[in-house]
Amino acid sequence: MHNAPRMIGAVQVTTKGLTKIYEPDIVGIQNIDLEIRTGPFGLLGPNGAGKTTLMRVLATLLAPTEGTATIKTYDIRTDQVAIRRMLGYLPEQFGLYPNLTAWEFLDYLAILHGIRDARMRRQRIERALSLVNLLEVANRKLGTFSHGMRQRVGIAQGLLHDPQLLILDEPTAGLDPEQRVRFRGLLSELSGDRLVILSTHIVGDVEAICRDMAIIHNGQVVIHASPQHLTKSIAGKVWVVTVPETALSEMERRYQVMGIVRQEDGLALRLLADEPPAGAEPTVATLEDAYLYYTRSESPPQHSKPSAIEPMVPSLSVAKKGRTREGSNG
């Protein structure tokens, strides 16, 4: 797989053949080759795709079985201390101490991170809490927090020490729409001069925040491109057609159906095809269409697969099911 000229920032993370096999023989990630540059990077994939494993490996919290990865100049196998020093990490699942207040919990983590000066800790905690809109409840015990508030405490602890590298695993899970919008803005602001790796299965988050992304499926990187390139890769192949309910199974058999909306006169199907069915009208391709296309585990029938997927975008790289296919029209 080769990398498209997606970003202008310096390469911050490089992985080569990164593999994690859990005992017994459960593949977490397999042969991940990635180059990630400064800025927001999105890792998109369905549940169980290997996103969390990759995040934990990059955060040096999980040892890879094979392969190498470097963050800046540091090796994840040997330079744990240096990497964790510049790391802000939010795990997918984490707990908080119910008997501590939000302020105390952040103070505890700030001390553990090595922020010695009490005044500086106070300033950092205040800033982190105000960024996630929790300053008013700073002295409330964490045991009384809702899921969304806990998630925001998790985000705040990741920002405490102004890290150069932010790894956020499903950061918007559990946030209400208002907080999600706020968080997207915050991440866009933060990612100016640092690397932010964000994993999610919420396409909208990546679309709103990231300039570069990869789709991971069954432990492998299926495609690595910018969201725009990804959307372009299926442009002109997304159609909307209204069919009677009885025709649904036939349509699903013949085409890659991306969405179904029930209407008065039947079912409006959103589908991906080179040659559309009769009566279909073209529609604008979205990142979600592209995501669904690349993560469908079963390959759609040959005629409906966008045969021009590789030549669509210059230097778009596609690696699916262990094979690597490179764009070649440019």
Partner 1 sequence: MDDRRRFWGVTWYELKMRLRSAGYWIVVLLVNAFALFVASPLNYSSPDDRWLFQSSWWIAGEAFPAATTLMNGLGVFLIADRILRDQTLQTDELLHAKGVFPKAYAMGKWAASFLSLCLAVCPLFVGAPLIQWYIGHTPIQPGPFLLAFAIVYLPSMLLISTLALMAATLAGDTRLFYVPYLVVWYLDSFQLWVPRPAIRQIVNFSGVTATLRLFLGRVGSLAARGYPIVSSSDVVLNIGLLVLISGVLLYLLLRRETRVWMSADLPRQKPA
Shortest distance in whole angstroms from residue 124 CB to partner 1: 13
Burial label for 254, CB within 10 Å (0-12, 13-18, 19+), is middle
Shortest distance in whole angstroms from residue 182 CB to partner 1: 22
User: Which residues in 86-115 contact partner 1 (CB under 8 A)?
Assistant: 87, 89, 91, 93-97, 99-100, 104, 107-109, 111-114
Length of the chain: 330
The pair of three-digit structure tokens given for residue 210, joined into one six-digit string: 């990231």
Interaction pattern, residues 114-143, with partner 1; x per rule: CB under 8 A: x-x---------------------------
Q: Which stretch binds partner 1 (CB under 8 A): 81-89, 227-235, 243-251, 262-270?
A: 81-89
Q: Which stretch binds partner 1 (CB under 8 A): 76-84, 235-243, 303-311, 318-326?
A: 76-84
Residue 67 or 327: which CB sits closer to partner 1? Answer: 67
| Residue of 72, 85, 254, 325 interacting with partner 1 (CB under 8 A) | 85
Residue 110 or 203: which CB sits closer to partner 1? Answer: 110
From the CB of residue 170, how many other CB atoms can be counted at a distance below 10 Å?
21
- 174 CB-near residues (< 8 Å, 6+ apart): 147, 148, 150, 151
Shortest distance in whole angstroms from residue 167 CB to partner 1: 8
Residue 27 to residue 49: CA distance in whole angstroms: 10
Residue 69 or 225: which CB sits closer to partner 1? Answer: 69
Phi, psi of 130 (to 5 degrees): -75, -30
3-state SS string for 87-134? EEEECCCCCCCCCCEHHHHHHHHHHHHCCCCHHHHHHHHHHHHHHCCC
User: Which residues in 11-70 contact partner 1 (CB under 8 A)?
Assistant: 56, 59-63
Residue 71 or 287: which CB sits closer to partner 1? Answer: 71
R_g over Cα of the chain:
22
Please tell me whether residue 80 binds partner 1 under the rule CB under 8 A. Answer: yes
Shortest distance in whole angstroms from residue 62 CB to partner 1: 6
> Under DSSP, is residue 39 helix (H, G, I), strand (E, B) or coil?
strand
The answer to whether the beta carbons of residues 113 and 170 sit under 8 Å apart is no
Contact positions vs partner 1 (CB under 8 A) = 56, 59-63, 80-81, 84-85, 87, 89, 91, 93-97, 99-100, 104, 107-109, 111-114, 116, 154, 157
